[in-house]
Amino acid sequence: MTIKLEIHSTDPEVIALIQRYWALNEECKPVENVSAMLPFREVLKPHALAAYIKAHCTVYDENQNCSVCGSALVITSRSEVKRFKQHPLRPCAVCKAELDEARRVAEAKAEADLQERVAQHTERVIAKKTDYSTIPNDLAFVLMALERAIAPRLFGGRFTFNDCQALAPTHSEMFINRLWKSGVLSDDPRAAGTSAYFANANELNYDPNKIRFMLVPDELLGGGEEAFNELVVRPFTNEGMLALWYEYAVADCMAYLNNQLQEFRQVFPVHKTEEIKSAIYTALKYYSTRDVWSLLWRVVQTVSSNSNHKYSNKERSAGTIASKLRLQFEKARKEKTDLGEWNRLKSIPAGTLGQLFYELYDIDETTDASVIIKALSDEEPLDREEIEASIDAHVKQLMTSALANGSGAAAIYDLAELIRNGAGISDAVEQIAEIYAKHPAEEFSTC
């Protein structure tokens, strides 16, 4: 017998009943059916008998042991009896109570630690200051777009990632993260509460759906509208703007791609996000945003049709989006495909970043890639001394020849024309020198 009875009764009839009930044969099966023991006093039904027995006796099965202390486990029904020794899987009641208590203590300590860490973090947040006048050009631009997207909450208010969706067609959180990282925005535990945070190893982590942000005040003028308008709103330069445009335009294309995949009941391959963004980025260097929409539309048509093939499915087909886009892009470049004039979908607004790009730089989804590169390029022009040094030889040659030919005025006039049409100083001098150093003015005009 592998079971041990602990009988809580001194009534001989009850003791006899319990022994009959728990009598087992060699195979550990009950010797008697319950119906044979009924009725017993006021007990008439089998389930009532089981409860009666349970109330008067604790049963241990020595083939089942506590996973912690190894003692025999309590069983409550005859079907639970095991004929052979079992691998210990669960703790006994005493050990379980101890484990539960230890867990409760650990959880309470973790909660207290979290409270403490959030409190320390809150103190640091309250003390945060920044210098608005040193915010880089591109970040000031994003901040201005953010102000427009969540007005009037940027000044003194708190906002979530979700509140900032009007910033860009999609991936607004990417721009918020940049502002956060640079110290212009801060999370504010006072607004979000401790539940927005959790401790991960030694770091304080956050729940993106609960975290709330605020504008960090300027160290001199504070965080009001006045300080913002004085120091953040400024004459914008091109510094960092081309990279920002590409980030924005990639988001614009991702929004379009997602929309079209939904439209054609296809899936978005999340694990391929970076690969797709990279292919879009490459295409945007040569094509306007709306041309890339056109390429993406073609890609979605192919993906959608391929997903119905016998040996494919939606996931497998969606996995090829990036490579299909690269193929479409190469094909369009080689064959100079007419990509048509795609219009912005009403469901994908340009966002406040898009509005500002249009207002301040006169570019949008229809602008050619080459025009954008020219409009936003922040390559520092060579300084004057460098330019002078680079054109010195040409200028000497040009002036000597032009004066000797009597075409000095024409050479200067043509030089001015070239520069007015957008040529750089060095390029223009080189071109004019090539012509006037050898030929008289008349020949140039017929070139």
> What's the min distance (Å) between Cβ of 71 and Zn ion?
5
By CB under 5 A, tell whether 140 contacts Zn ion: no
Work out how close the CB of 70 gets to Zn ion at its nearest, in angstroms, rounded to a whole number: 7
Judged by CB under 5 A, the number of residues near Zn ion is 5
Contact between 245 and 357 (Cβ < 8 Å): yes
73 binds Zn ion (CB under 5 A): no
Q: Of all residues in the chain, what percent are helix, strand and coil, respectively (each to 5)?
A: 60, 10, 35
Q: At what angle do helices 289-306 and 321-335 cross, to 10 degrees?
A: 120
**What is the distance in angstroms between the CA of the first residue and the CA of the last residue of the chain?**
114
Which residues lie below 8 Å from residue 194, measured CB to CB, with a gap of 6+?
114, 115, 118
How far is the CA of 397 from the CAs of 7, 400, 430, in angstroms? 119, 5, 10
Instruction: Determine which residue in the list 92, 166, 279, 369 makes contact with Zn ion, applying CB under 5 A.
Output: 92
Minimum distance from CB of 54 to Zn ion (Å)? Answer: 21
What CA–CA distance (Å, rounded) separates 306 from 391?
A: 58
Task: Compare residues 59 and 66 and give the one whose CB is closer to Zn ion.
Answer: 66
Which of 37, 68, 231, 267 touches Zn ion (CB under 5 A)? Answer: 68
Comparing CB distances to Zn ion, the nearer of 94 and 126 is 94
Task: Give the per-residue contact string, 13-52, with Zn ion (x = CB under 5 A; - = no).
Answer: ----------------------------------------
Q: Considering only residues 5, 37, 95, 267, which one is a binding residue for Zn ion as defined by CB under 5 A?
A: 95
Q: For residue 66, state whether it binds Zn ion (rule: CB under 5 A).
A: yes
Considering the complex, state which of residue 95 and residue 191 has its C-beta at the smaller distance from Zn ion: 95
Nearest approach, Cβ of residue 59 and Zn ion (Å): 16
- In angstroms, give the least distance from the CB of 24 to Zn ion: 24
Q: Cβ atoms within 10 A of the Cβ of 207, count?
A: 11
Neighbours of 187 (CB within 10 A): 20
**According to the binding rule CB under 5 A, does residue 69 interact with Zn ion?**
yes
The least distance separating Zn ion from the CB of residue 90, rounded to whole angstroms, comes to: 9
Tell me whether residue 96 or residue 178 sits nearer to Zn ion (CB atom): 96
C-alpha Rg value of the chain to the nearest Å: 39
**Nearest approach, Cβ of 22 to Zn ion (angstroms)?**
22
Q: Choose one: 40-48, 68-76, 131-139, 381-389; the region binding Zn ion (CB under 5 A).
A: 68-76
Smallest distance from Zn ion to CB 73, Å: 8
72 binds Zn ion (CB under 5 A): no
Measured CA to CA, the distance from residue 287 to residue 365 in angstroms comes to 10
Nearer to Zn ion, 104 or 190 (CB): 104
Strand partners, 5: 59
Cβ–Cβ under 8 Å, residues 378 and 333: no
Can you tell me the distance from the alpha carbon of 354 to that of 245, in angstroms, rounded to the nearest whole number? 9
As given in the structure block, the two tokens for residue 443 are: 């020949």
Residue 379 DSSP label: P
Looking at the Cβ atoms of 92 and 303, the one nearer to Zn ion is 92
Residues that bind Zn ion (CB under 5 A): 66, 68-69, 92, 95
